[in-house]
Structure 1
Amino acid sequence: MIGVATPLCAQDSDADTAEPVIIVTGNGLADTPAAPAYDTQDISREQLVNVPSGRIEDALATVAGFQQFRRSDSRSANPSAQGATLRALGGNASSRALVLLDGVPMGDPFFGFIPFNAIAPERLASARITRGGGSGPFGAGALAGTIELTSADAETLGPLSGKALVNDRGGSEASAAAAGALGGGFAVISGRWDRGPGFFTTPLVDRVPASVRAAYNSWSVQTRGVAPLTDTVELQARGLIYDDHRTLRFDGADSSSTGQDASLRLVGRGDWQFDMLAYLQARNFTNTVISSSRFVPVLDQRNTPSTGLGGKLELRPPIGSAHVLRLGADHRRADGELFETAISAFSGTVTARRNAGGTNTDFGLYIEDDWSIGPVTMTAGARADRYTIRSGFYAERDAAGVLVREERYADRAGWAGSLRGGVLVRLGGGLQLRGAAYTGLRLPTLNELYRPFVVFPVVTQANAALRNERLEGFEAGINYAPDAALDLSLTAFDNRVKDAVANVTVATNLRQRQNIDAIRARGIEVSAGVRFGALRFDGSLAYTDAAAQGSGFAAALNGNRPAQTPRWAGGATISYRPSENWLLAATVRHTGAQFEDDLESDVLPAVTTLGAYVQVPLSSQIALVLRGENLTDQAILTRNQEGSIDLGAPRTLWAGIKLGL
């Protein structure tokens, strides 16, 4: 923590008249006593910044059970496929986990994907992943869990820090941050730029003259300021601008994702604690689809502007040391439209112009209380959400602009209730027992409701009649952390998503987004952190038995594993730090076999990768950094549609300089 205010005049020698010491943190309110009752796992700053790829999604994957829809990272995936989920509760590309950065939801207002390219690990102080747990005080959308990212303060970053690296394919990664005191608080400005020619996602035997590398070029700039208003109240402001361009598979198959985010947060730590947050997001997405047979543009998704607007207020009244009571309300509004042009692969002329979109809103009220009785802490909470799905439409015009189809969808609204509760028993000696049960809510995204898409030769239709997803789940676990050198955790869980949105096969090469009866996931999660002197081991393993339940068109997938969900996922990192600025680390990751679609017709084989990170100090403030991704050069299948295959990152070697250790 930094930012101790200096009085403008000499202090009176009488302690009663001394000026209060102002501590500025830049964080939200402190964790409640019952937070460990749920299956939580923290990722330290060291673990975030020292991953072999330098990507935030790679850092989050240290927690087994975290996954995106596909195995690609934010350099070679289509951005709209980068949803975040936990506990194998996937099946489509939308996020079933709620990702928060300094309390602000990061999901795209239209698609629901997470702009991982805009979240630089070096800007963060920590990450906390809560698997399961329902909505509770986090807001609707925390169906499979919550990923809370916290920005680093000026003391953590230092006055000036940065890094610059290049890889063996001509790619580069550069970032810098400047931080310092500002009055009684601090200010930080940081930037990052990643670019590279990428690699061929198409296997060598399948390449054609139109096949190109998955080139990428992205940058982001974040500013953040924290200032004390009183001795117990601080104001936090953050702004983020990012721009990302990628090419996938064929020449001209380009996508872009841009955003401008701003937020204000007021945190009070007096007798009446409070957390007030307001944010605004402006996002856009473009994408060009290239025919895989004639290799010419067939669809130009030229513009998808969307806006996210929301806020949150939480109060913690002083009701005694045995209780922590949370009262709150939050709101989120998502607006967006799609503008796209369909093009004939044979003549190159426009065949249709499409426009679709709508507005989703959610207003939630919640109450939660933690009650500590000696070694036992009990928690219970309730949440009520008023949601609306409205102004939905789809319009299609021919090349001359004549309207050939127009759909105006009926507005919908309703209330949904959610509950969660848990108990934590501290048995002494670092041993804890815990159990929890919960429900949760997720609205379908505007993308799922109104936007059809094509990944040739498969067409996936939208569905404006989609219902909300509902989660019911429970878990039990044990933690053992007798000292700072050992931290073990074991959790058994049973989660069920009712009315799960899935891409259901309804005919040959035709799918539709539909609510299936449920996705049920049961499994075991294990994590371990062991320190022995300069040597440290961190590992996480998850086994999940997930199965879909469906009727109608979806009856064929009864008992099938949801698309893109493995049974086994895990990883381990062994690191050696002989002195403060030295670091040698090796990471092994395993992802079990997955199916491409709901019918289990195409397999993505299991894969195990090895990565490494080496930091060698050259001076007190400068270090040589060496990184290696997929050192054994495993073939990582990220897509397999009837033999049409995409690959993930091959072996990649990085070298560069890091400033500010």
Structure 2
Amino acid sequence: MKYLPLSLVLAAIPTVAAAATEAPDPDRIVVTGEGLSLPPGTPAYGSVIIDRDRLTNSASGRIESVLGDVAGFQQFRRSDSRSANPSAQGATLRALGGNASSRTLVLLDGVPMADPFFGYIPFSALVPDRLSVVRVTRGGGIGAFGAGAVAGTIELASATRDQLPTFAASAFYGSKDATELTASLTPDLGGGYVSLSGRWDRGDGFLTTPRDQRVAATAPAAYDGWSTNLRAVAPLSATSEIQFRGTIFHDERTLRFQGADSMSEGQDASIRFISRGAWQVDALAYIQARNFSNIVISASTFRKSLDQRNTPSIGIGGKIELRPPVGPDHVLRIGADTRFASGDMFEDAYNANIAANPVTSRRHAGGEQMTTGVFAEDDWTLGRLVLTGGARADRWTISNGFYRASGAGAANNSFADRSDWQFSGRVGALYRISDALALRGAAYSGFRLPTLNELYRPFVVFPITTLANAALMPEKLKGVEAGIDVSPVTGLTLSATGFINRLDDAIANVTLVNRTNPVSGRMSTISPPRALN
């Protein structure tokens, strides 16, 4: 039976305007909830800006679809966050794909969003309507949390007070029982404001299996998820404010076969202090609690072969960035940041070839990792020329790694702790020949630690067995690029960028044995993509 599409929208109720006769209070401090302004050298790295109009007018309502506007953006799977396994949704730039973990640092109001255990991005919790702007910088990054920006940085900023109506709601209904409900409430509170928003969407989904491969167990990619976000901003003085954000999300999906269900959920909280005085300050602390589960159904017997029943993880971190007054021609940024990740994996393997479908093995793996870095970057404006350069020094540790299994493949392994220093940097130049023409160039390096999943979790998708590799080293990138930006008319910019990126110690699944039961292992490789954006 086919459904006729139907859409119903409850228009946003606008904020009631103040009476025209009401005089403004000169002593009232009003904040918008923004971060510090962008340094003038940002365009030297070919950053792409996605504005709020594009974010709010996306037909899919999914942030990953909007990010597809950026040349070089890709995920490990092309599906959006309704029909892909969540653990495969890493974000990558500059043709550095081939891995489900995110090689791009994704920040929301300065907070890293990657799952602490798997490294995937919870795209379903990043609602475009809640955002003000997105900035995508391709190539290695240096600023806060730059240790994760081996392929670049995607910075998302929450919508500001002037972009949010006091109350808004919408409802959509479409074919295959697709339903979406959203609502937000944003009242002023003194000189600040509080914004509470939520979204729930579900649908029966579409069949991802080609028609000639469908069987009785084939199922559409059904989805059912919700998220809620609380953001509060309050002034502390005429030049400083404090920002709080809390997000809770839960997502359930089915992929390909009946019973092949996955679940991801998270509870995130962060607090941020912004000062725009003579010494500008951006200080941040956050905590994340995440979980993931997934059932794998055999493609030959259509019985359960694996139950990733529980994968709890914790992420804790913070940063401080200072911009001292060094004169009108310089913007100096100095700071430090730290990230800690801890996670465990509990899963059961099943014999899918027997009707009784017995458990054959119970597995438990996990570990901890931490990165602490210091950074400095300066932008120097010389008329139409802007020079920018920065460096980072990071101390990383990987500790308390283990893998235990009972039954088939029994093991009780503990892995040695490791630590080292990693140095990275970047330089760039931007020359504005005229208001309509600019030239730019940059060179950079960056790195990413292997995730706990890559280090310690083996898995089987019959008949492929993938082995973990506790000896994986950090991925390291070096790159150069040059570009031109042309703005022939207001509102239109044409850009071209040529680049060479080299990724050393890249982490990928490589086939070791290619027989009846092939075996894969996570290996280090070298991948030097060259492309033109």
Please say if 1:514 is aligned against 2:523.
yes
Give CA-to-partner distance per residue, 1:90-143, whole Å, 9 cap, x none.
111010011101110000000000000111111111111111143344421111
- Please give the secondary structure, in 2, of the residue aligned with 1:200: coil
- Does residue 27 (structure 1) correspond to residue 29 (structure 2)? The answer is no
CA-CA distance at 1:24 after TM superposition: 1.0
Note the C-alpha offset of 1:511.
1.2
With normalisation by structure 1, the TM-score equals 0.75
Give the conservation status (yes or no) of the 8 Å contact 1:370–1:377.
yes
1:381 is aligned to 2:390: yes
Task: Name the counterpart of 1:298.
Answer: 305
Unaligned runs of 5+ in 1: 3-9, 12-17, 526-661
Alignment partners' CA distance in 2, 1:468 and 1:293: 37
Please state whether the residue corresponding to 1:169 is helix, strand or coil. helix
TM-score (norm 2): 0.93
Q: Aligned pairs, how many?
A: 507
- Match of residue 532, structure 2, among 519, 524, 543: 524
**Aligned to 2:55, what secondary structure does the other structure show?**
helix
Q: 1:143 aligns with which of 142, 150, 169?
A: 150
1:368 corresponds, among 350, 367, 377, to: 377
Aligned pair partner of 1:289 in 296, 307, 310: 296
Question: C-alpha separation between the residues in 2 aligned to 1:454 and 1:76?
Answer: 21
Distance 1:265 1:368 in 2: 21
- 1:143, 1:485 → 2: CA distance? 31
Contact 1:314 1:327 in 2 (8 A): yes
8 A Cα contact 1:461 1:511, kept in partner: yes
Which residue does the alignment assign to 1:651?
A: none
- Higher mean displacement: 19-28 or 285-294: 19-28
Structure 1 residues 169-248: aligned runs within 5 Å: 169-248=176-255
Partner of 2:468: 462
Alignment of 1:270 with 2:270, yes or no, is no
Q: Which runs of 5+ in 2 are unaligned?
A: 1-14, 16-22
Task: Give the structure 1 partner of residue 478 of structure 2.
Answer: 472
- 1:343 corresponds to: 350
Deviation track 1:394-436 (CA, whole Å, cap 9, x = no partner) reads: 000129xxx9311100000011000101111111232111110
Deviations 1:280-322 (A, max 9, x none): 0000000111111111111111100000000010000001111
CA distance in 1 between partners of 2:511 and 2:450 (Å): 19
SS at match of 1:129: strand
In 1, the alpha carbon distance for the partners of 2:462 and 2:37 equals: 49
Q: Tell me the residue number matched to 2:12.
A: none
1:80 aligns with 2:91: no
Corresponding position of 1:44: 51
SS at match of 2:487: strand
* Deviation sequence 1:570-596 (CA, Å, 0-9, x none): xxxxxxxxxxxxxxxxxxxxxxxxxxx
Alignment of 1:604-643 (within 5 A): none
- Within the candidate set 303, 318, 321, 1:311 is matched to 318
Distance in 1, matches of 2:68 and 2:219, equals: 28
Say which is worse superposed, 275-284 or 59-68, in terms of deviation. 59-68
1:434 aligns with 2:440: yes
* 8 Å Cα contact 1:20-1:231 kept in structure 2: no
Aligned 8 A contact 2:48 2:136 in 1:
yes
Question: Paired residue for 1:578?
Answer: none
Deviations 1:188-225 (A, max 9, x none): 00000110111111112111111111111000000000
Query: Are 2:285 and 2:317, in contact at CA under 8 Å, matched by a contact in 1?
Result: yes
1:160-198: per-residue Cα shift (whole Å, max 9, x none)? 112211221111111111112111011100000110111
Deviation at 1:28, TM superposition (A): 0.9
Secondary structure of 2:390's aligned partner: strand
Instruction: Report the AA paired with residue 531 of structure 2.
Output: G
- Please name the residue that 1:543 is paired with: none
**SS of residue in 1 equivalent to 2:187:** strand
Q: Distance in 1 between matches of 2:28 and 2:164?
A: 23
Q: Give the AA of the match of 1:207.
A: R
1:132 aligns to what? 139
Amino acid of the residue matched to residue 406 of structure 2? R
Question: Counterpart amino acid of 1:285?
Answer: F
Residue number in structure 2 paired with 1:562: none
Q: Distance in 1 between matches of 2:434 and 2:218?
A: 61
- 8 Å CA contact 1:469–1:497 kept in 2: the answer is yes
The runs of at least 4 aligned residues of structure 1 exceeding 4 Å deviation read 18-21
Q: Which residue of 2 aligns with 1:91?
A: 98
Report how far residue 482 of structure 1 moved.
Answer: 5.2
In the alignment, the residues of structure 2 paired with residue 429 and residue 270 of structure 1 have an alpha-carbon distance, to the nearest angstrom, of 30
| Greater Cα shift, 286-295 or 224-233 | 286-295
Residue 324 of structure 1, aligned match among 311, 314, 331: 331
Residues 219-261 of structure 1: per-residue CA shift (max 9 Å, x gap): 0000000000000000000000000001111111111000000
Equivalent residues in 2 for 1:515-594, closer than 5 Å = 515-516=524-525, 518-525=526-533
Query: C-alpha separation between the residues in 2 aligned to 1:54 and 1:167?
Result: 14
**Deviates further, 202-211 or 386-395:** 202-211
> Per-residue CA shift, 1:261-289, capped at 9, x if unaligned?
00000000000000000000000000111
> What corresponds to 1:491 in structure 2?
497
Distance 2:340 2:392 in 1: 18
Letter of the 2:278 counterpart: D
Q: How far, CA to CA, are the matches of 1:106 and 1:20 in structure 2?
A: 37
The letter for the 1-side match of 2:205 is: G
SS at match of 2:72: coil
The residue matched to 1:205 in structure 2 has which SS?
helix
Distance in structure 2 (CA, Å) of the matches to 1:246 and 1:501: 27
Comparing 376-385 and 481-490, the one that deviates more: 481-490
| Residue 7 of structure 1: aligned partner | none
Residue 411 (structure 1) aligned with residue 417 (structure 2): yes
Judge which range, 456-465 or 29-38, deviates more.
Answer: 456-465
The answer on whether the counterparts of 2:194 and 2:232 sit within 8 Å (CA) in structure 1 is: yes
- Partner Cα distance (1:269, 1:404) in 2: 58
Distance, in Å, in 2 between the alignment partners of 1:414 and 1:25 is 41
- What is the DSSP-based 3-state SS (H/G/I as helix, E as strand, rest coil) of the residue aligned with 1:500? strand
C-alpha distance in structure 2 between counterparts of 1:51 and 1:229, whole Å? 36
Asked if the contact 1:135–1:141 (Cα under 8 Å) also holds between the matched residues in 2, the reply is: no
Percent same amino acid at aligned positions? 57
Q: Which SS does the other structure have where 2:272 is aligned?
A: strand
Tell me which residue corresponds to 2:116: 109
* Superposition CA RMSD, Å: 1.6
1:72 CA displacement: 1.0
C-alpha deviation, 1:483, in angstroms: 4.8
Q: How far apart are the structure 1 equivalents of 2:435 and 2:291?
A: 52
Residue by residue, what CA displacement relative to the aligned partner does 1:436-457 show, whole Å, maximum 9, x if unpaired? 0000010000010011223333
